Structure 1
Amino acid sequence: MQRRVSSNAQTSNSIVDSESSEFDSFSSIITPNVKIGIKPLPLTSALVKSDRTLVESLNSLGYDCVLLPVTNARYKENCKAYFLEFRQRFNGSVPSSSDFTLSTISDVGKLLGSQASDSLGRSDDKIDLVMHDSEVDAPVNESAEAVNHNQNSEENEQKSELDDDDNDYDLNSLMVPHPKLNEINIITGPHIVNTIGLLSSWVELDNESRLINEFSLQVIINEVSYAQYTGISTLLIAPPKNINNLQTYADNLNTILQMYPNIELSISLPICEDTKQDPITGETMPMIDPFSTWDIWNSIRIQCNYNSKLSISLGSPKTNVPQSVVNRWLLEPVRFYLISSYRFIPNSKNYPVLNKFNQLIIWKFIQRKALSPPTLLLHGVDKENMTISSRVPDSTVTSISSSSVTSRGTSGKRNSVIVTVDGKHVSLGDLAYLEYIRYLIAVSYRNNQLLPFENFTLNSFLRLNLRPDQIYSPESLQTPLQPLSSNLDNNTYRIFEQDHAKYETYQKAITAALVDLSNTPRFHHLKGSNAHGSSALPLSTGVDSSQVTDAGSEENSRNCLLKILVVGPGRGPLIERLFSSIRLLDLNLKHIRIVGIEKNTNVMLYLKGRNKDHWNGKVQLYNCDARFWEPSSSQETGFNLIISELLGSFGCNELAPESLDYIAQFCDHQDSVFIPSEFSTFVAPVISPALYSKVIKLYDSAKFDRPFLPLWDEFDMLSSKYARVWTFRHPSRNLGGQKTYNGTRGSFENKHNRRQAHVILKCHRKGTIHGLIGYFSAVLYKDVVLSTCPTGNGPTPRNLVSWLPFYLPIEQPIHLTDEQELSIFIKRECQDGRVWYEWSMEAFMYLLLPGRTSGLRNDSNTDSEMDVDNDGSQVRVRTGVTRIHNAYGSHYSMKLC
């Protein structure tokens, strides 16, 4: 079977038995890798003067990293002067610096002259987001203002004028000066490893003016170049100011990423647009589009071809946001989670705390992304510097030089750190914020937001201490086993056996089946015996195995034997559960015959040892492929109970139907039970940027035409439900007593195991489909179910961890808007001794056309609930389509021989 845990040696060695540790890997998640950073106010940076002193001082207080602007206001003023001089060469006149904001070209004025800046590097630009100015509390509203402002028709006309003027400039001669020594905020030194760079936000990388665009790009390139020289590897960059120009912005970002492939760019965006209040009623108005900021990011990311060096820095929300929005961001490469001091409220003891919804968001991020969690970045905690005076009562004041380290002081209920530099008092922030974030991280394990199987998987990988590049490597994608040609090693078997939930479920089914079989008249004699005298006993009890009567040797009871076959027993966990059920029901083993068929030659040695030492030789073992097994006598036919462990992640992808079809001919046609008795395969369209990013990095021409088993990747269903595509039942009703092969190992009659399905699913939320995720649900016996299908509470049972998801990628992702339909065609094809899958998709939306008496209405099997107006009709319009993947099994198939 295909398990949730990796079968490669590295992963196998990492997972220890959960019973050997006090920490429950299923109920909680450890979060050892969470870092806390700070973004000091520009005023704070200017007062301390030395970036090394500032970073080392904050680091000594407990901050892991510090966000600092690469350049200061002097560099902006220098660039502004150069820009004016450059324009003067072609225009013949030079507007003064004070008159620049009154330029007839308003965009140029906003770009270079609208900010009243001082030598401390402060900015009052209200358009930029939270991390790029001193207005730390309005990321969402500022973005909205920017959008509205740039959609103004008058400004569009002015832009048109500027575009016409672009032809008059020789952009080849535009060379923005590099920053000088007094224009940079960061110098080289050992503190760089704890420093994050902040790029200038006053430029406009999305401006359609070729002059402004080129000028802005050169400014940013100069800053990136210098940051890379100092050793900084991560830079935050402001978002686009005009969402209508995302292509221009993305093109510039892509240029930077290609020029500096070792630099990571992180775009700062709000997590969601803020809710607004009705100005008349005061009631909260519903969000127009809760995914609007995600949509901006998604467009940029796609245009940059899923570049692994492009990430997101999310701003924490003012108010609660829909859970679907949080779940969407959990799929994305969130590098920083920005927490403004204005998001905190005082508790009863006047200490700053976050609202419950912000606590939950943080816990979800650091738990779900425990392998590589975002840095929690505080800002605004040093806002005291805005009003601090030369006299600071009741606080510990420490004079520092450029190389000294600050100390902390406590004043009443606050815990502020005040230092003096050249006689000026400087606050490094209230430590109450830092201590509270530490507290949230510390209690995260008591506020678990994950499902048991998610906890187990993440804890398993955390023990590996993998680097991020290993976590996100394409090599973490596994290829499904070729079940008839692959043999597992001993350590992999051991790991698989840790899934106690699976084997407990199997035992419930086995027990229920044995109860029903023993209640039939022909097997009444099984009940009421002394289990201790007839069960499988270890040799340590003193019972000689040669004295145990072999049921097959008793001619009188031969026709009354209950015959049980275990197909693919591995190291024997199913056989152990079988004996447990027999003991529990007090059945007489003298009238039970047990046969096991295992194809793995290596594990047979272990099985024989278990049979001798623990099962008292009661199991007849055969080493062969179950499809070619031939009974040595009539005693080995007429099986009443057939137990198998052949289910794959997709249900049928490890060829369980083909293996069990052959065995069916040796069953008792009067009383026989298969465990599992049937299983169904389900699919759902998913959004998964992480999975898609890994697949496109593979050096394999067939990478989009074969399935993968992701060890751990974020994905989310876009449809309102998952769809059943086919079902297999055992014994198969289509066999008609015919053998499934023609007497040789090279030819199988397998057409009855072909399947195909066409299903239509409704997708309520916008998103990008990156492929299909497959699940299975197996009826082991009657109402005993084993299922990997997500139910909101995880699989069934909840602690089930054996199977990885089954990912079928698509080469060209499909973007959906709200309330669209997705048509999925998938088939299981069998021919020429092979089995393979083919899949394709189409996306549709409905348009309401007034005045039509009839429309093109889809009548297929669908969960759509479209209502047709009396005065109009709906037309189903195709908006996206994929090719048929893996046509005729040309790239991937499972061999039957």
Structure 2
Amino acid sequence: MSASMDLSRMCSVGLLTHECFDDLGNFIVQAEEAGHDFVVTPISHPTFRRVLNEDNATDKETQENWKDRPVFNRNDLVIKSAEWSGKAIGLLANWIHLDSTNAEIRLCSELALKQEIEWACHISLTGLIFPSLPKGSLFNTARAINNAVRSMSFTQFLVRVPLTDKSAVQSNLPWKQWNRLRTLTEYNTKIGVVLELTSELPIDEKLLNMWLAEPVKAVIVPAEIFVENSKGYPVLTKPHQKFIKKLMDKMKPDMIVTLPNTPIHKLATPSSYSEYISFLNRNLPELQDVDKFATGYQDYLQAPLQPLMDNLENQTYEVFEKDPIKYQQYEKAVYKALMDRVEHNSDIVTTIMVVGAGRGPLVNCCLRASEKSERKVHIYALEKNQNAFVTLQNAKADVWGDKVTLVFADMRKWKPATQCDILVSELLGSFGDNELSPECLDGAQKFLKEDGISIPANYTAYASPLASTRLNNNVAAYKDLEHYETPYVVMFQQVCELAAPKPLWEFSHPNKQIDVEPMNNLHNVRYSQVSFDVEHDMVMNGIAGYFESVLYKDVMISIRPETHSPGMFSWFPIFFPIRTPVQVPQGSTVTMDFWRLTDAKKVWYEWTVSVYGSGGQEMTVLPIHNVQGRSYYVGL
């Protein structure tokens, strides 16, 4: 293992067998000796299939007794006790047919399923794997599973789903069946996916990435999909390697390998397949700075900051000040503005006002830009947080001296004796304007000379339709309307965008269209309707939001995926939930209507989603969320 590999990123690797070993303990020991962390084995022996009574070989009294009191014969069980429960995951019987046209088989299948599940829970198995879903109707399968898992508290119920269908590799038929089950069971959090890789992969990467939004808890890598390298060892193709590494990186699933019944790779040993999977795991791409920073926060719902209503704590300032890229870009923007504004060797002193100075990182940026550009500056550092202001006083006394004038005031109310050449602020939120940068800079632009420069110069909000079972479940856990109508700052992990983000609206500064003291905030109201064409069947669980900002001329910062500033971690994306998952068929169009609204005391967002079929017919319309800011707003 490489010295830099984080052990927390390593996946467990198990061995799957369909054989029914009389001595399960011996098999587990052998599997461990070959480097496997656990085994996947049938719970029951094929003899248990007699309960279906398919050939009417069981007398009526015996069958009725079993229905009334379903008890295992000891010889019907492969996992006979709790002795190995910590080392085994159970395979549910593959002959269970819950959607059979035969009513008796349907009934007996459900009773057998319950019996296996109850035994698994009794001996505390960590997981159960249900066989691949039927290709036809699965209404009764969904109902029976939903009922059966209600009693499960510790054991995870997993459904085996092949990655592709042999008859249509370049489609997402298996995902459609999984989606039907998940929809019928109302996103039951006790039901997850075991994704079984197939020898052929879809060419369209979107058909692979959609699984990143699903609750994939384990991945089966059959021996048969391995190919032989020039030395005779089993390896995986480049596309398989890439997809497996992505799953490991984003989801950290349990990895499960199989062994061939007869040797198919010359130099393969019982440990070759698991060793290769571990090799891929050890060679994951190194985490980027933003991923290291976000460790523990992936898909975690955080309320956006309320910088006008609340004063930030010292620790919050400290975290954001560690972002080297943001301040590097700000310094570059101030440097270029100084170079454009003042001739070399000039005695002109450029006045810079840093509004919302916090603990002073932007002041330091401006001083470094002054030194680098060899332009003289005087800086006003304006801050309303009385606690952060103490830190500014310390910096002035110890470092800045007379180059900086401190002002303790709210930028919307302060009346300076002089105007500035450059106005610098870092008031942006994950959606650009969601921390009230427009309103704050409306109040501050009176500080700016007629030909003055605002940094940032503008910022644009972007949005895209998003799929994520995990985020959907995280919001649903609150069981109230308020949380479905609240945006969250989230470091996306197990998500998939249905289409690339599109711009909603832009704010530019200084805003020459408003009075110095505007009577109201209506000029900051926005409305946008954007549409997205969706190429494959998907489910939409919410809206992803990003921003892109021009600080000065060609100097930008962005969290939009296509233009994300490398290494910048000050902002996570923003997530707007929707009250119900929306089915989005292949070839349909998702339309979002988004509003930024305001009154005298607050700013809020409202949003809704519509889906239109390929022929333009309306298929789904959601209610408008967060009407009048009833669930969430940002206070002025």
Asked if Structure 1 and Structure 2 have the same fold, meaning a TM-score greater than 0.5 normalized by the shorter chain, the answer is yes
1:485 corresponds in structure 2 to 309
1:734 aligns with 2:513: yes
Per-residue Cα deviation, 1:647-673 (whole angstroms, up to 9, x for no partner): 00011110001111011112111x200
Q: Paired residue for 1:293, among 149, 165, 174?
A: 174
Correspondences of 1:76-475 after superposition (within 5 Å): 76-77=49-50, 79-80=52-53, 84-85=57-58, 174-175=67-68, 177-243=70-136, 245-274=137-166, 287=168, 290-321=171-202, 322-369=204-251, 373-381=252-260, 383=262, 414=267, 416=269, 430-445=270-285, 455-460=288-293, 462=295
Identify unmatched segments of 5+ residues in structure 2.
Answer: none
Per-residue Cα deviation, 1:408-444 (whole angstroms, up to 9, x for no partner): xxxx97474xxxxxxxxxxxxx222222222222222
Q: Secondary structure at the match of 2:620?
A: strand
Q: Partner amino acid for 2:318? A: R
The answer to whether the 8 Å contact 1:838/1:886 transfers is yes
Q: Secondary structure at the match of 2:481?
A: coil
Q: Secondary structure at the match of 2:176?
A: helix
Q: Paired residue for 2:570, among 792, 802, 817?
A: 802
Gap change, CA 1:29 and 1:656, over 3 Å in 2: farther
Q: Paired residue for 2:552, among 781, 789, 794?
A: 781
1:578 corresponds in structure 2 to 366
Q: Secondary structure at the match of 1:487?
A: coil
2:599 corresponds in structure 1 to 831
For 1:653 and 1:770, locate their aligned partners in 2 and report how far apart those are by CA, in whole Å. Answer: 21
1:64 corresponds in structure 2 to 37
State, as a whole percentage, how many aligned pairs show the same letter: 27
Gap change, CA 1:415 and 1:208, over 3 Å in 2: closer
1:704 aligns with 2:488: no
Q: Partner amino acid for 1:257? A: V
The answer to whether the 8 Å contact 2:293/2:569 transfers is no
Per-residue Cα deviation, 1:306-334 (whole angstroms, up to 9, x for no partner): 12211111111212323112211122111
1:651 aligns with 2:432: yes
Per-residue Cα deviation, 1:4-35 (whole angstroms, up to 9, x for no partner): xxxxxxxxxxxxxxxxxx96xxxx97753311
1:865 corresponds in structure 2 to none
TM-score (structure 2 length as normaliser):
0.94
1:615 aligns with 2:395: no
Per-residue Cα deviation, 1:532-556 (whole angstroms, up to 9, x for no partner): xxxxxxxxxxxxxxxxxxxxxxxxx
Per-residue Cα deviation, 1:379-408 (whole angstroms, up to 9, x for no partner): 124646x9xxxxxxxxxxxxxxxxxxxxxx
Q: Secondary structure at the match of 2:213?
A: coil
For 1:471 and 1:178, locate their aligned partners in 2 and report how far apart those are by CA, in whole Å. Answer: 44
For 2:119 and 2:392, locate their aligned partners in 1 and report how far apart those are by CA, in whole Å. Answer: 65
Gap change, CA 1:461 and 1:725, over 3 Å in 2: closer
Instruction: Please state how far the C-alpha of 1:201 moved relative to its aligned partner.
Output: 0.8
1:39 corresponds in structure 2 to 16
Q: Partner amino acid for 2:150? A: Q
For 1:760 and 1:583, locate their aligned partners in 2 and report how far apart those are by CA, in whole Å. Answer: 48
Q: Secondary structure at the match of 1:672?
A: strand
The answer to whether the 8 Å contact 2:419/2:447 transfers is yes
The answer to whether the 8 Å contact 1:69/1:198 transfers is yes
Q: Partner amino acid for 1:877? A: Q
Q: Partner amino acid for 2:606? A: E
For 2:135 and 2:68, locate their aligned partners in 1 and report how far apart those are by CA, in whole Å. Answer: 25
Identify unmatched segments of 5+ residues in structure 1.
Answer: 1-21, 95-169, 277-286, 387-411, 417-429, 465-469, 520-526, 530-556, 742-748, 848-875
Instruction: Please state how far the C-alpha of 1:499 moved relative to its aligned partner.
Output: 1.5
Q: Partner amino acid for 1:528? A: N
Per-residue Cα deviation, 1:478-510 (whole angstroms, up to 9, x for no partner): 111112122222222222122111111111111
Correspondences of 1:3-22 after superposition (within 5 Å): none
The answer to whether the 8 Å contact 1:29/1:367 transfers is no
The answer to whether the 8 Å contact 1:316/1:340 transfers is yes
1:758 corresponds in structure 2 to 529
The answer to whether the 8 Å contact 1:171/1:214 transfers is no
Correspondences of 1:499-648 after superposition (within 5 Å): 499-519=323-343, 527-528=344-345, 561-588=349-376, 592-631=377-416, 634=417, 637-648=418-429
For 2:276 and 2:261, locate their aligned partners in 1 and report how far apart those are by CA, in whole Å. Answer: 15
Instruction: Please state how far the C-alpha of 1:85 moved relative to its aligned partner.
Output: 4.2
Gap change, CA 1:734 and 1:29, over 3 Å in 2: farther
Q: Partner amino acid for 1:726? A: W
Instruction: Please state how far the C-alpha of 1:353 moved relative to its aligned partner.
Output: 1.3
Correspondences of 1:765-776 after superposition (within 5 Å): 765-776=536-547
For 1:832 and 1:577, locate their aligned partners in 2 and report how far apart those are by CA, in whole Å. Answer: 35
Q: Secondary structure at the match of 1:514?
A: helix
For 1:29 and 1:586, locate their aligned partners in 2 and report how far apart those are by CA, in whole Å. Answer: 45
Gap change, CA 1:622 and 1:82, over 3 Å in 2: farther
Q: Which moved more, 1:689-698 or 1:761-770?
A: 761-770
Q: Partner amino acid for 2:368? A: S
Per-residue Cα deviation, 1:53-105 (whole angstroms, up to 9, x for no partner): 2213322332111011111022223553796547x68xxxx9xxxxxxxxxxx
Q: Partner amino acid for 1:192? A: S
Q: Partner amino acid for 1:802? A: S
Gap change, CA 1:586 and 1:199, over 3 Å in 2: same
Gap change, CA 1:461 and 1:662, over 3 Å in 2: closer
Q: Paired residue for 1:75, among 38, 48, 65?
A: 48
Instruction: Please state how far the C-alpha of 1:691 moved relative to its aligned partner.
Output: 0.8
Per-residue Cα deviation, 1:563-601 (whole angstroms, up to 9, x for no partner): 11001122211111111111111123xxx3210111221
Instruction: Please state how far the C-alpha of 1:173 moved relative to its aligned partner.
Output: 9.4
Gap change, CA 1:750 and 1:501, over 3 Å in 2: same
Q: Which has the higher strand share?
A: 2
Gap change, CA 1:222 and 1:325, over 3 Å in 2: same
The answer to whether the 8 Å contact 1:457/1:712 transfers is no
Q: Secondary structure at the match of 1:239?
A: coil
Q: Partner amino acid for 1:575? A: V
1:662 aligns with 2:430: no
The answer to whether the 8 Å contact 2:379/2:404 transfers is yes
Q: Partner amino acid for 2:434? A: N
The answer to whether the 8 Å contact 2:432/2:459 transfers is yes
Gap change, CA 1:471 and 1:565, over 3 Å in 2: closer
For 1:83 and 1:712, locate their aligned partners in 2 and report how far apart those are by CA, in whole Å. Answer: 54
Q: Partner amino acid for 1:437? A: I
Q: Secondary structure at the match of 1:615?
A: helix
Q: Paired residue for 2:503, among 724, 731, 736?
A: 724
Q: Which has the larger radius of gyration?
A: 1
Gap change, CA 1:242 and 1:618, over 3 Å in 2: same
Per-residue Cα deviation, 1:266-316 (whole angstroms, up to 9, x for no partner): 111111223x6xxxxxxxxxx475211111111111221112211111111
TM-score (structure 1 length as normaliser):
0.67
Per-residue Cα deviation, 1:603-646 (whole angstroms, up to 9, x for no partner): 11111111222212321112222112232xx2xx2211000000
Per-residue Cα deviation, 1:189-242 (whole angstroms, up to 9, x for no partner): 443211101100101012244332221010011111111111102100012224
Q: Partner amino acid for 1:666? A: F
1:892 aligns with 2:629: no
The answer to whether the 8 Å contact 1:316/1:337 transfers is yes
